[in-house]
Amino acid sequence: MTKVSSNSSQVKLNQEALPLSGLSWEGQYDKLMGFRQTAYEALGTGRDAFFELGDAVLLTPSADSFAELSLSPVFRRQWSSVYEALQDGRPDREALLRLYALQIPTTGRPVFVGDHTAWPRLSARTLRDRTIEHHPTKIWGNKPITIGQGYSTVAFLPDTAQNWTLPLLHERIESTTDPIQKGADQLRRVRAVLQIRPISLWDSEYGCAPFVKATADIDADKVVRIRPNRCLWGCPPPYRGWGRPAQHGAKFKPSDPQTWPEPAQTLHVIDEKLGPVVVQLFENLHFREAPKQPFLLIRIHRVDAKGTRREPKDLFIAWIGETPPPLEDWWPLYLRRFAIECWYHFAKSRLHWTLPRLKTPEQCQRWSDLMPLLTWQVWMAKSIVTDCPLPWQKPQTKLTPKRAIQSIGGILTQIGTPARMPKPRGKSPGWPKGWPRTKAPRYEVVKKSKKRQT
């Protein structure tokens, strides 16, 4: 990008917070081994089957059913143990969060991203607490919704060159809350284990007054996309001496240029992908329901959009927090948010996140806790594995998540597993005679009331 012009749980964590790029091959090897050992201790009850289940996921590129994961050579137990691991397992989520946070370099400001996605369960009538969730559809005109469970994620973005996303929390959104409150709570918990004030990136759903007020007490900067149909307000006029002091100034509608004041700064840049771009900065704006939380707003306008199927719309991004970086560094920062969409695809297609048809929300959450753990292991192994492309694949020097997990088998063979060997427990006595068999209860889909966000 070229700048043209501008005007004004108690688990002992013994890992060292060192970036992987600064370690030798042996150091990265030992760090991955220590990471797996510490994570194993944090899995609590049923850790042996739970840990071997994770290794089976890493070494199984495709599976038609959840029970097929037990056919992996690293899973040394019977097929029913894959379900018992999720029934008996009690992973310490806070201990795992602290473990992940220790792997984040302390040099520079860390960048995080928050978003949520759906786990569709349309036919699971016996699954408690299902809700109506947003889900993209390929059929034009259909409502982009599904029935299932929503999961909120806060992840660390390690670099800008690749689509690597390292989740720290991946938790279910209960029917008693919403993505905004869940995301704010996760950001607060992540900030508590960090030493440096982070920058967090959020989509347009979080660009509203409830999210701004819920995160006002969190020591973190937030970069949020603002929808064009939102209504913002400027600084109130000076107090006239009588009546109630005004809380709002002039109205600012992103979709109506007539309401825009004169920008505080204007920046003309030539982006490598977008071409000529004009960036305008507007100061001291706020939502109507959050007048005490002002923020900065920038408008990103593509000057020449020839060759596109349709004219791109202007992008409005708000900086909520302390002093922002320069405009030429700030607005490209938000584009890194889309890396979390790549992780959702990776978790669903390769980590088999949505493969099992579990019966309870608790089992679904324990299975979801395994997704960040596996992703961090793949990230830590990508620098020490040897690329093993398939016959129709080209070699890569910078491995993507799918290429790194494709080559992780040799490293896991050398490292081994901290899980203990299974102990035979004999045959199950089966269902007791005389006990009645009842059908599992059916649950209605929980419909949340729609709240207006301003």
How far apart are the C-alpha atoms of 299 and 280, rounded to whole Å?
5
Whether residue 368 is predicted with pLDDT greater than 60 in this model: the reply is: yes
Residue 386: Cβ within 10 Å count? 8
- Reduced to 3 states, what is the DSSP secondary structure of residue 294? strand
Per the rule left: phi > 0, alpha: psi between -120 and 50, beta: everything else, 295 is: beta
**Cβ atoms of 53 and 72 closer than 8 Å:** no
What confidence tier does 454 reach under pLDDT thresholds 50, 70, 90? low
Instruction: Lowest mean pLDDT of 140-144, 148-152, 321-325, 376-380, name the range.
Output: 140-144
Packing angle between helix 361-381 and helix 47-58, nearest 10 degrees?
Answer: 60
Phi, psi of 142 (to 5 degrees): -75, 150
How far apart are the C-alpha atoms of 7 and 17, rounded to whole Å?
41
> What pLDDT shows up at residue 138?
78
Instruction: Lowest mean pLDDT of 219-223, 337-341, 439-443, 447-451, name the range.
Output: 447-451
What confidence tier does 2 reach under pLDDT thresholds 50, 70, 90? very low
Give per-residue pLDDT as tens, 188-219. 999 999 999 999 999 999 999 999 999 999 99
What confidence tier does 426 reach under pLDDT thresholds 50, 70, 90? confident
Who contacts 236 (Cβ-Cβ below 8 Å, separation ≥6)? 245, 246, 247, 248, 249, 291
Domains of the chain, earliest start first: 15-236+246-415 (3.90.350.10)
Express as a percent the part of the chain with pLDDT over 70: 92
Calculate mean pLDDT across residues 391-396. 90
Give per-residue pLDDT as tens, 69-82. 999 999 999 998 99
Higher per-residue confidence, 250 vs 449: 250
**Cβ atoms of 387 and 400 closer than 8 Å:** no
Highest mean pLDDT among 87-91, 149-153, 299-303: 149-153
Calculate mean pLDDT across residues 133-160. 89
Whether residue 11 is predicted with pLDDT greater than 60 in this model: the reply is: no
Beta strands in 227-274 (DSSP E): 232-233, 251-252, 265-271
Which contiguous run of DSSP H or E holds residue 126?
none
Express as a percent the part of the chain with pLDDT over 90: 63
Per the rule left: phi > 0, alpha: psi between -120 and 50, beta: everything else, 321 is: left
Calculate mean pLDDT across residues 273-282. 88
Calculate mean pLDDT across residues 420-440. 85
Which two three-digit tokens encode residue 391?
Answer: 């016959």
Higher per-residue confidence, 385 vs 57: 57
Mean of per-residue pLDDT scores for the chain: 88
**Cβ atoms of 58 and 408 closer than 8 Å:** yes
Highest mean pLDDT among 269-278, 356-365, 411-420: 356-365
Give per-residue pLDDT as tens, 106-120. 888 999 999 999 999
Calculate mean pLDDT across residues 38-56. 93
**Cβ atoms of 341 and 334 closer than 8 Å:** no
> What pLDDT shows up at residue 430?
83
Beta strands in 55-144 (DSSP E): 111-120, 131-134
Write the DSSP symbol of residue 410.
Answer: H
Whether residue 306 is predicted with pLDDT greater than 80 in this model: the reply is: no
